[in-house]
Every structure is written in structure tokens, then in C-alpha cells.
A and B are shown apart, each in its own frame.
Chain A
């Protein structure tokens, strides 16, 4: 096959993967699903609307942000470091889950999801939000609005969102340093 390829090396969930030959123009979600076996970031729409496919890009300045892998070419991630839903919980060498992240635990405690197809996207968005608030806390009175704004792009068909939003709010309010008194 003569489709042009370029090498791709990405750090995923703390492990350097590649370089592997990836055809130019392939989206990152296809690399994750078909080449790396990471199917947690889910294909919902394929056009960047539903946000079920997001991963966290850990930037060099120690900030993090969501990136939609269904509309982002794989080579955008060359040399970058990302986290997928599979890397959010703490695991042992065999991959067994040792401890959930606070966001995952809250989502589980709150019965936030039903089918769970969108859950990885919500967990990633909430994780990025928590990490942002750790750098820039918000007034406690603005937590609900902050959660709403952060999760608004994510589509869930089953739940009506309430329990996702409540779970993330509760994590933020219970985690020292994410909120501040107004003023």
C-alpha cells in the first residue's frame, strides 16, 4: 500500500507509544481504536459535536485541556502527552484498577450514567475542570455555573445530565483549594 505515512510518537497515560507509521490524514480516534486498542474515547458523532471522544492533552506549561480526537489528526499529537479514560484511575502493572480518581468515584457514587457511552468524555471534562480550578479557584457561589459551562459541550442521551453535574459539583466543593470565598 502506498498511502503516505509519517511516524507518530505520543506519550499516552504516562507511557511513550511509538513511533508507529500512521497514514497522513488519519484522525487520532482511529489510531487509538484501531492501532492502540484504546476504545474508551468513544465515537459519537465524528464531527466534533458530542465530545464523547475527548482525551486530555497535558501541555508543557502544566495546564491541561480537552481535545476531540474525532476531528483532530493523529499527527497533531506528535511528541505530545495525553491521557485517555483508561489512564485516569490508578492501576497496577496488570492493569487492574487500584483506585478511582475523585471524579470517577463521584460519578460512580451518584449513579451519574446509564449506558455509559458518554461517561469517558464527562470524566475527562470534569478532570480538566478540577485541574483548572486547582490553578484558578472560583467563588463557591459560582461552582454550579462553572460546572454547567465546562460540561455543556458534552452530550448525554440517557441521564438528563443532573447526576453528572451534581457529581462534579460535589467533587469541587469537597476538594480543598478549588473554591474560594466570594470577593
Chain B
């Protein structure tokens, strides 16, 4: 095991909203050394991806990856999940595994008065019970992000259903198992006192986005979030109170002036406007990642070391929070060893609380490793949920032209008991509702309410899924009102490249929703739908046939993205990639390997993810990248090591673009400053090459060899050997920062000035170089940037960068006798730029549409007492889509050809989940003539309409 060097510094994540100076060179957080530790043994093979991955099987001629590089482990039942790991798999841990469970309240309307474990008797009595008193005594408290009361003290009213009150630790599995059987579903265990009613709290967030556009979609705005800013209200009796309008007042007053004008116009519209007001509701749902939350930890009190095996979508963030939590306690800690594993979350393992309970359990484990692993009932009770949305739209459209004129929206999302990411998520939801359409005027107010529901988190779609679905249902309603074909109506209003969105920002890149709509309009599922309805219903009495459409222009990312990547080339041509992102099942590891192809001719041979040790690339961060002023950013940027944000959590949609950007840029540096000059040197020494020096633009990889202008193809191994021999660049570590566009910086590499879309760069020279040039441990030379161009802070309010267009046609049948909806087929059209791994893209579409089907037709839970917080929910009463629900054999998809061969890959996994939701609900309307506005659309709802 490695020992800490004296010069290791911390690795915070952007999600933690760093508020103090955090120096990031490696792994020292405060006084605690933090390791994502290579273990080099059986556990090493179990835990660390470089051992779980196999060399990519690359078909050079076809240019495709033959297998997922984590595939062999997963298909043979290897221990790849944190859930699979026990103490015996960790050779340096004590081998006796202890187990823990968390006692949780099932009421939130009265005081909590303790618990009674007498039903366990002496035999099943826990070996250690941890309560709020222990935490208070030892100074252990939740990281700030999670709020107060990690364990609820007696006498307080639970803030939410399922709030934790105690951790019970058993030193062996059998007693744990049987004790749990007695405790689970037993209402007598927790004692409650006086009725207090649920806690009343201010919302987690309320914010308003107002825009009054110029004369055309291309003119400057009169008022907008980008030009001015979004603004927030005050609160009275926990309700938002928006400021009084004033034309010449402060920002909020001016915003309200324009909002009032929009409202006035909708109340008293011009004669040729049609104004529709509709209310939509989407459900609370479980992310239902199949691996329930878990962690396994061991606290070595003698050495003051804590070891944690965790599934997480954000290892940097977890390292930061865990170390800080312990540092601020009276528990002695010198070193923290964090072992992130493959995982899956759909948002449920992004900023989730369970690892910190596991950390506490480990601290009180009496020297034994303690495993805390939710079963499915506990996962429903305590896992992060999808926000429930109520969406109130008022939309005006000009009857004569069919053009959208104005939109007012009130959006309320239920964030549950803890804030988590509710503040950010409702902003994303609010700023996404414009989707693929141009609105000249918009007034969008959104609130994330605090409630006694189970915490809601960053579930797939991140608020945009809900608002965009409502928008798509509204589009069909308006088209119906105008008597227009729904796709024709959409095309009249489609947001085209160069137009401003609801924040007044112009999305980056080419918008292709129009292409998606045009293709859908001529697809046989759509063009023949009326005739097929007649034929089908005639042949199938008691069945109603329908086809619906949904389309979105979906931006991915959250406006503050950081990513690190290191690409290294060995002397024999082997390529290794190290990236800060984590594998969450979407194929990130494969995607990162393939991201090397553009510049290195083939994918990486080895990929290590969730890397937190960036000793070779010192980057510092401070301040809140979302809230800092331009002056503050300009001042901080004078430090050549500073960046506004460090490393993002992994999500299904950010890996292909945000994470692979840095990998591609690192590979580009290695190519331009290593392989290319090596090739020039080889060709120059070859008499056949003549005297002509090819230009870089002529460079082409052909089946793993580099050629240019007809010169001899040179295999990567030969180039790598030459680059090393000449001491050229053979490794590059880069950091990228994106605030809806990438930061750029200038560096001098080997005497050449370079400007690249990165903000930090270290390079490693080949074996033949003078090692004394190295300034970092891994023989890297850290380059001070000569100039940096960060995206302006105001850019955060744009809330749009690159975006993905997706549309789905759904063909379905409604059974008149049962109200059951059966999908006959669906067809998805998707623009996702250049695909990294086509098979993974196709798989993501299939998985995404299944998610959308579940949310449109099946998945739902009550928010409160009858909901999952009561601990009785499982898959027996929460229907996840099965094979028979998703049109397995008949679904199809078309990926739009990229606009150019170097168009970047775009995030798409979440995008594919959204349009099918509206397509189904709109298809039901086509089938039975009724528009549903509450999801999911259940057989009961349908039967209530059909009678």
C-alpha cells in the first residue's frame, strides 16, 4: 500500500458548492490524507477497474468496439459492485464482517420519543446502538449539504418520512438477519409522542425566469435571464412572495414588471390569440436502480484510518465530504481510503446519504468492518426519489399563423425532506420547458417545496423530463385547438439554430429538432395513422388504436462541469487513459477508451475511472462557480492553477461529451506534440518521402497506422517508439471547465504556443528526454498557462450549451374493457453528434424509452404516509416495465448522421427517455379522444373516461 506523500492536497467536487479555498493537487483534505487506494491483491482485482477491464477488442477496419470492456466481468458474475464486497475480499481488513441497519421513522406528524428493542430479546440484541447522542458527543454531523439531524434526537418531530433515528450494529450476519426480520414492518419499535403536525418550512428554492424578446428571435432581448438575471422572492408563511413590479426598480422589480405585462396580455389577449391554460402533474417515482444503496467500511482506531467501499456517481465529492465530516469530529482520523466501485444509480447514487451512515457505522463498529446495505424495502424508504411536479401552463398562440406568442408557467416540484439538489433541479426544469420551440415572451416561476416526503434527488431527466413532457402534451392540445396536424404545428414553432431560448441565450451548435420533426412527419407510423386506425379498429372490436408523437431539444449538463483526463502512450504503443468520471453502467469506460481513436488511431488499452489522484496536474478551485461575480472570477483567474470547478459527478448523459472532451484533448496534445513530429521525422529520413513535409491537416489514421498525403502508413507502436526516443510528448494531463462553453487557455509546449479548450495542462516527455524538466511526481511537467479565457459568469444564466434533439412516435392500443394500454411499436429519432460506441447509443435509446414507458404508464407512488417512507414498498406494488411492456421486437430507431466527422458526441441517454412519454399520452388521446394531464395514465383513469 502506498504511503502519503507530504504534498497531497484535496479533491472536492463541484456539487459540494465549495465555499472555502480548496487546494486540489492530490489527496490531502485538511489534515486527512485521502486515497482512492490501489490495493494490489484479491480486493484489487475485485475493486479496481483496470483489473476488471479487458483490452478493447477493436475492429480497426470497421472502426467499432466489439465488446464493452467491462463486459467479461459482468457476464461471469464477478464481484464488480460495492454490494458484492465483504470483509473477506479485502485482505488488509479484519475478516469478520459486521452488519448494520438503520431504524427509521414512519410518521412525520408527531414527536419522536425513542425506540424499543425489547422484542429482540438478549439473543438478537444489537452489539452497538448508535443514536443522536453518540453523534453529538463525538462531534459527528452530516456534511453541510445534507442539512441537520443525521440521526434524529428524541423529542423532535421527524422532518420527513423515513428519517433515520438509530444505527444498529451486529457483529455477525445471522443475528443481524433475524433481528431485522423482527424489526422490519413493526410499528411498535419506534415510539411517538405528541401530535405536532408536519414541519412547515420555507421552500428549498423559488426562482423566476422572465424574458421579453426583441422584434425577431434573433434580436436583442428587452429583458431576459441572460441579459439581466433570474430572480427570487421573499417568503411569508413559507410561501413565495414576489416583489412589486417597477419598471425602473431593481432587477426583481423590473422582472416582475415584465412578468406582470405578460400576465396582463394573457388575461386580455389580442383578438386573434388563442389562450389555453392547462395543469399537468407528474408523479413521485423511484429511480429503481437495481443495485440498492450500500457501503462497507472499516475504522482502524489504532492507525486512525477509515476504509470505505462505496458505489457512487461522484467519488471526488464523496471523498471531500467524508474527510471533512471526520475532520470536524472528535474521531481521530489520519487517512481515508475510499474504494469506489462500478455502480448504477439513475441519480440515486449522486449526492446520496447512505455512505455517511456507513461511515458512522464503521466508526462505531468496534474494530470490525461494518456493512450497511439496503434491501429493496429500505431502498424505497430511504433512496432518493424523483420529484413530483405540478405544472401550470398558460400558452398563447396566434390563430392565423399558428405561431406561439407567449407562455406563463408556474412549476412546483416536491423536493421532500432534504434539499439535496432541488434548488438546481427546478432551475433546470424551468429553463428546459421551452424545449424545441420559440416563445417570444415567457414568464416561468418555479418552486421546490420542502415536505415530509422522502428526499428527492437528481433522477434521470433532472426536472427537464417533467416540464418537457408537459410542453409536448400542450403542443398537441394547441394543435388540436387550431385544427392543425400536431407535427405541422410543431414545425411552425420549432426553435431553429441562432434563435434565443427562454433565457435569451442562443444554444450552441446546430439545432436539429426540425429535422427530427420532418422525418417523423413522413414516417409510415405517422403518415398512415388515420387509415391504420380505421383498419385496426374494424378488425379488433373493443380496441382503440392511436399514434402519438413527442419531440424535445434537450440540453445536457448542468452549467458547471469539470473534468480531468490523462492520456499516456507507452513505448510499445499501448495507450492508457485515466479519467475523473465513474462507470455507472452506461459504458463510460468503453466510451473513454474510444475517445482516443480520433487522435491516436485506436482506443485505449487500459482505462481507469473515478481517478481522484491528480498529483501530476495541480488544479485549485475556490468560490461558488454558480454565484461568483465576474470580478471575483477575474481576480481568481490570475492564479494559473485556478479553475472555477474541479470534477463533475457522472451521469448517463455527461460522460459522452463532458468527460470525453478532456480525454480527446489530452490525446490531441499527445498527437500534435508527440506522434506527429515523430512521424515527420520518420518520413523525413525515408528517401521515398522526398522533401515534402505534409501538413497536419493531411494526417489520417487508417487501420491503426498514420498516413498523410500518401506517405508510408506508420503503425502507432513505431510512432510511439520514435516519440519516446526523441523525448517528445508521450503523455498529457488536462483539466476542462465548462459553463455552457469550454474555458480556453494558452500554453507553451516544447516552445510552441498552443491554445486549447482546456484550462490546465501537464505534459510528460518520452523516455529519451531530460527527466529534470519534470515538475510533478509522474515525470510530468506542469505548464503554467499563458492566458485563460473562462466563460463569463453570466453565462451560467444561459442554461444551455450543446443540445440533443430526440423525437419518438408511439403506436398503441387501448383495450376498452380493461383500460390497458399496449404498445405495438415505437420509433425514435435521435441526433447525438458523432457516436463513440454505436451499440451503447442504441442500448441507451432502448433503455431510455423503457424508462419513459414506465413513467407514462406504470410507475407511481404516493408522496406521504402511504408512500415508500412507510417502509412497505417493493416491486410487488411498483411496476417496472417488463419485456412485454416495451414493444421489444418491434421498436426501431434512427440516429441522424452527424453534420461533420468531427462533430462532438452529445449526451443522449436521458433524452431518449423523454419524448416517448408524451408520444404515449398523445397516442392515447388519438386512440380514445381524451387528453390526460396526470402521469402515469393508468387503466383506472382510462376506464373512468371510457365508462
**A residues near B, CB below 8 A?**
1-3, 23, 25-26, 30, 33-34, 37-47, 49-50, 52, 84-86, 88-89, 97, 100, 104, 107-120, 123, 144, 148, 151-163, 165
Contact = CB atoms under 8 A, between A and B. Distances in A.
B849 A42 contact: no
Contact of B346 (A47, A112, A157): A157
Interface string B821-854: 0000000000000000101101111111111000
B75 A157 contact: no
B277 interface: no
Interface stretch (B198-206, B263-271, B664-672, B882-890): B882-890
13 contacts: A30-B177, A34-B97, A43-B376, A49-B874, A86-B77, A115-B342, A116-B70, A116-B74, A119-B75, A152-B884, A156-B290, A160-B848, A165-B889
Contacts of A41: 77
Contacts of A111: 67-68, 71, 587, 837, 839-840, 842-843
Interface stretch (B79-87, B207-215, B486-494, B592-600): B79-87
A114 B586 contact: yes
B290 A118 contact: yes
B71 A108 contact: yes
A2 B375 contact: no
Given A117-B290, A120-B77, A155 B344 contact: no
Interface string B73-102: 111111111011010110000000100000
Nearest to A97: B76
A50 B288 CA distance: 11
A100 B75 contact: yes
A65 B694 CA distance: 65
A157 B77 CA distance: 18
Interface in B731-781: none
Nearest to A114: B585
A157 B84 CA distance: 19
B68 A47 contact: no
A2 B651 CA distance: 48
Contacts of A45: 376, 874-876
B850 A117 contact: no
Contacts of A148: 883-884, 888-889
Given A113-B75, A114-B587, A116-B75, A161 B883 contact: yes
A94 B455 CA distance: 46
A168 to B, nearest CB: 11
Interface in B537-588: 584-587
A117 B889 CA distance: 23
The 3 lowest CB-CB distance pairs between A and B, nearest first, are A40-B77, A115-B585, A116-B74
Nearest to A111: B839
A138 B876 CA distance: 32
A86 B77 CA distance: 5
B376 A47 contact: yes
A148 to B, nearest CB: 6
A51 B9 CA distance: 45
Candidate in A2, A23, A156, A157 with the most chain B CB atoms within 10 angstroms:
A157
B344 A117 contact: yes
A56 B850 CA distance: 28
Contacts of B78: 40
Interface in B116-141: 123
B178 interface: yes
A105 to B, nearest CB: 8
Contacts of B584: 115
Contacts of B839: 110-111
B817 interface: no
Contact of A157 (B74, B174, B288): B288
B196 to A, nearest CB: 34
A34 B889 contact: no
B88 to A, nearest CB: 7
Contacts of A156: 290
B175 to A, nearest CB: 7
B891 interface: yes
Nearest to B850: A160
Interface string B331-353: 00000000000111010000000
